Structure 1
Amino acid sequence: MATIEPSTERTILPGVPPYTVDDLLKFPDDGNRYELFNGSLLVSPAPTPLHQRIISRIMLSLMQAEPPHLETLTTVNVRITDKDYYIPDIVVVPLEVTDKVGLMFGPSDVLLAVEVGSPSTRMRDEGLKTLAYAQARVPIYWRVEPDEGPALYVYELDGDAYGPPAVHKAGSVAELSRPFPLAFDPAAFAA
């Protein structure tokens, strides 16, 4: 059996920290997901099959329930500021905005941002992105944790911050009214 040696090649990234969105646009397409938090680079590897399955099933649930004036999309660019840039796993946006947006959505375009957790992103999704999406005034943020069955954490904007999340565990039906009426058992996302 042949052994595979790890690559010794290194990706050289253009620009100098703190990075800007303009720097990020010059990065190579190397299979990593690059995001920015206050100019600091956040790097995530390609998602696992379970992660992709959960994203696909959430997308399907949202698309089947969405009203005609809204659209559910995956892995879109959201530019918060010149040094803050995220790629949520899923967003819900007004349909009229999708026809006008070029490369990046603004935070005011996003009605719902969804992040599906992984061991490498859990702290980021639970802490940093919760604060960042609230500061950007994204009305609703869902955090899905696959290793909890999966569990769905729903954050809703209350003034300038999210209130404590409503937690929906696998095996019980989550009945949600925003951004539109929707009911599901989070367990179905991983099945």
Structure 2
Amino acid sequence: MSNASEYGYFAKDVAADLEVTTSTLRRWSIELEKAGYKFERNEKDQRIYYDRDFKAFRELKKLISNSVVLIDAINAVVSMDVEGLNASQTPSVYREETRLTRQFLEEILDEKINQAIQQAFEEGRQQGHKEIKEMIKKIEKRSEERDENLMSVIRSIREEKEEVKQLIAASQEQVKKTFWQRLFSKI
């Protein structure tokens, strides 16, 4: 297969090299194409596989053998630079990257959601504190107005009471005079 960069290979040759069936290779090819991977085709519209395609299939097979879900493995292979693929990179690294990336995104989303909830809670609490302070001010103002009205009523009652006392005293004086006057007038 040293001529892979010059000459293309058919599915039968690639499947034999990868030790998979031609139907498996066809299924992988279709899934890769759906994800955006491009294969060259001959005049009969058959896929022709080149060295870069061999590398892509090898990586796909490694990922799948390491329990990476097919669609995740397909997406990982499509996003790789197959031409410059470094042989020292192992499938477990890709597997961990895939899982770490998903886990990392989930953690970021959880953190952002928790931050948003906390922020909304704090804003609600601050708004609540603000509303409570405003309510307390209103209550204090109403209490002061009530106290002023109450004091005004009490003053008014005291004034009326004083007036009543004065009237009573004046009428008692008159009653006394009248009584004395009656008493002295009979004498």
Instruction: Give the TM-score taking structure 1 as reference length.
Output: 0.23
Structure with greater strand share of residues:
1
Larger Rg: 2
